[in-house]
Amino acid sequence: MDQLGWDSCDIIIVTGDAYVDHPSFGMAVIGRTLEAQGFRVGIISQPNWHSKDDFMQLGEPNLFFGVTAGNMDSMINRYTADRKLRHDDAYTPNNEGGKRPDRAVTVYTQRCKEAYKKPVVIGGIEASLRRIAHYDYWSDKVRRSVLFDSKADMLMFGNAERPLIEMAHRFASGETIEQMQDIRGTAVIRKEALPGWQGVNSTHVDTIGKIEPIISPYEMIEDKCALQSEEDKKAAEDAEKAKPVVIQPFTSKTKRRKPWEKTYVLLPPYDVVRAEKTHYAHTSRILHQETNPGCARALAQRHGDRLVWINPPAFPLETEEMDAVFDLPYARVPHPSYGKAKIPAYDMIKTSVNIMRGCFGGCTFCSITEHEGRVIQSRSEESIIREIEEIRDKVPGFTGVISDLGGPTANMYKLRCKSPKAEQTCRRLSCVWPDICGHLDTDQTPTVDLYRKAREVEGVKKVLIASGVRYDLAIEDPNYVKELVTHHVGGYLKIAPEHTEKGPLDKMMKPGMGTYDRFKELFDKYTKEAGKEQFLIPYFISAHPGTEDEDMLNLALWLKERNFKLDQVQNFYPSPMANATTMYHTNKNPIHKVNHKSEVVEVPKGEIHRRLHRALLRYHDPANWPLIRKALKEMGKGHLIGNGPKCLVPFESRNELKGSQQREYAKRSVNKAYAKGKGKKQGADSGKTPKHQQGLTRFSDNQPHNSPQTWKPKKKKASK
Each residue of 565-596: pLDDT tens digit?
988 788 999 999 999 999 999 999 999 988 87
Cα separation, 595 vs 369, whole angstroms: 24
Cα separation, 574 vs 589, whole angstroms: 14
Domain boundary among the residues 558, 585, 620 is at 620
Q: Looking at the domain assignment, is residue 666 inside a domain?
A: no
Q: 21-25, 199-203, 283-287, 620-624: which has the minimum mean pLDDT?
A: 199-203
- For residue 374, what are the CA distances in angstroms to 168, 192, 423? 26, 30, 10
Q: 124 and 83 in one domain?
A: yes
Q: 33 and 78 in one domain?
A: yes
The confidence score (pLDDT) of residue 226 equals 37
Dump strand ranges (E) for 110-235. Answer: 120-122, 134-136, 141-143, 154-156, 186-190, 198-201
C-beta contacts of 419-426 below 8 A and 24+ residues apart: 423/294, 423/375, 424/292, 424/294, 424/295, 425/292, 425/294, 425/295, 426/292, 426/294, 426/295
Q: Looking at the domain assignment, is residue 646 inside a domain?
A: no
Cβ(56)–Cβ(111) below 8 Å: no
Residues 6+ away with beta carbon under 8 Å from 581 = 135, 137, 365, 574, 575
The confidence score (pLDDT) of residue 200 equals 87
The SS3 assignment for 170 reads helix
Given phi > 0 = left and psi -120 to 50 = alpha, else beta, which region is 252?
Answer: beta
Query: Mind listing the pLDDT tens digit for each residue in 236-263?
Result: 455 444 433 333 333 444 455 677 788 9
The confidence score (pLDDT) of residue 357 equals 95
Residues 6+ away with beta carbon under 8 Å from 650 = 625, 641, 642, 643
Q: At what angle do helices 445-455 and 478-487 cross, to 10 degrees?
A: 20
The confidence score (pLDDT) of residue 258 equals 75
* pTM (2 d.p.): 0.84
C-beta contacts of 644-648 below 8 A and 24+ residues apart: 648/553, 648/556, 648/557, 648/560, 648/619
Q: 200 and 184 in one domain?
A: no
Q: 383 and 528 in one domain?
A: yes
Q: 86-90, 267-271, 493-497, 568-572: which has the minimum mean pLDDT?
A: 568-572
Cα separation, 415 vs 319, whole angstroms: 13
The domain that holds 604 is classified in CATH as 3.80.30.20
The SS3 assignment for 154 reads strand
Q: At what angle do helices 607-617 and 625-634 cross, to 10 degrees?
A: 110
- b/e 541-566 (16+ beta carbons within 10 angstroms → b): bbbbbbbebebbbbbbbbbbeeebeb
Cα separation, 324 vs 339, whole angstroms: 30
Q: 537 and 407 in one domain?
A: yes
Domain boundary among the residues 562, 594, 620 is at 620
Return the top range by mean pLDDT from 55-69, 415-429, 643-657: 55-69
Q: 28-42, 259-273, 575-589: which has the minimum mean pLDDT?
A: 259-273
Q: 459 and 415 in one domain?
A: yes
Which sign, positive or negative, has the C-alpha torsion 640, 645, 648, 651?
positive
- b/e 385-397 (16+ beta carbons within 10 angstroms → b): bbbbebbbeeeee
Assess whether pLDDT exceeds 90 at residue 318.
yes
User: Would strands 298-303 and 377-378 be described as parallel, antiparallel, or unpaired?
Assistant: unpaired
Q: 366 and 223 in one domain?
A: no
Q: 364 and 485 in one domain?
A: yes
For 257, the domain range is: 196-290
Q: Looking at the domain assignment, is residue 682 inside a domain?
A: no
Cα separation, 28 vs 12, whole angstroms: 13
- The widest CA-to-CA distance across the chain, in whole angstroms, is 101
CA-nearest of 625, 605, 607 to 615 is 625
Q: 510 and 426 in one domain?
A: yes
The confidence score (pLDDT) of residue 568 equals 78
Higher local confidence (pLDDT), 121 or 669: 121
**Helices and strands (H, E) in the chain, number of each type:** 25, 21
Cβ(640)–Cβ(647) below 8 Å: yes
Higher local confidence (pLDDT), 700 or 621: 621
Cα separation, 173 vs 165, whole angstroms: 12
- The mean per-residue pLDDT over the stretch 304-317 comes to 95
Q: Looking at the domain assignment, is residue 698 inside a domain?
A: no
DSSP class per residue in 450-501:
HHHHHHTSTT--EE---SPP-HHHHTT-HHHHHHHHHHS--SEEEEEEE-SS
Q: 186 and 200 in one domain?
A: no
CA-nearest of 210, 227, 216, 206 to 274 is 227
Assess whether pLDDT exceeds 70 at residue 711.
no
- Beta-bridged to residue 43, according to DSSP, are 13
Number of domains within the chain:
3
Cα separation, 245 vs 243, whole angstroms: 7
The confidence score (pLDDT) of residue 264 equals 95
- The mean per-residue pLDDT over the stretch 429-451 comes to 95
- The mean per-residue pLDDT over the stretch 536-557 comes to 95
Q: 491 and 609 in one domain?
A: yes
- Beta-bridged to residue 536, according to DSSP, are 493
The domain that holds 130 is classified in CATH as 3.40.50.280
Cα separation, 156 vs 136, whole angstroms: 20
- The mean per-residue pLDDT over the stretch 278-301 comes to 94
Q: Looking at the domain assignment, is residue 558 inside a domain?
A: yes
The confidence score (pLDDT) of residue 407 equals 92
Cα separation, 430 vs 437, whole angstroms: 9
Q: Looking at the domain assignment, is residue 70 inside a domain?
A: yes
CA-nearest of 62, 56, 70 to 17 is 70
The confidence score (pLDDT) of residue 314 equals 95
Assess whether pLDDT exceeds 70 at residue 431.
yes
Q: Looking at the domain assignment, is residue 704 inside a domain?
A: no
530's enclosing H/E stretch is none
CA-nearest of 11, 27, 35, 12 to 70 is 27
- b/e 225-262 (16+ beta carbons within 10 angstroms → b): ebbeeeebeebbeebeebeebeeeeeeeeeeeeeebeb
Q: 121 and 47 in one domain?
A: yes
Query: Mind listing the pLDDT tens digit for each residue in 135-158?
Result: 999 999 999 999 999 999 999 999
157's enclosing H/E stretch is none
Q: Looking at the domain assignment, is residue 655 inside a domain?
A: no
The confidence score (pLDDT) of residue 230 equals 53
Cα separation, 514 vs 564, whole angstroms: 18
Domain boundary among the residues 620, 635, 657 is at 620
The SS3 assignment for 333 reads coil
Cα separation, 626 vs 649, whole angstroms: 9
Given phi > 0 = left and psi -120 to 50 = alpha, else beta, which region is 103?
Answer: left
Q: Is the peptide bond before 434 cis (omega within 30 degrees of 0)?
A: yes
Q: pLDDT band at residue 658, thresholds of 50, 70 and 90?
A: low
Assess whether pLDDT exceeds 90 at residue 511.
yes
On average, the pLDDT of the chain sits at 87
User: Would strands 41-45 and 306-310 be described as parallel, antiparallel, or unpaired?
Assistant: unpaired
- The mean per-residue pLDDT over the stretch 93-116 comes to 97
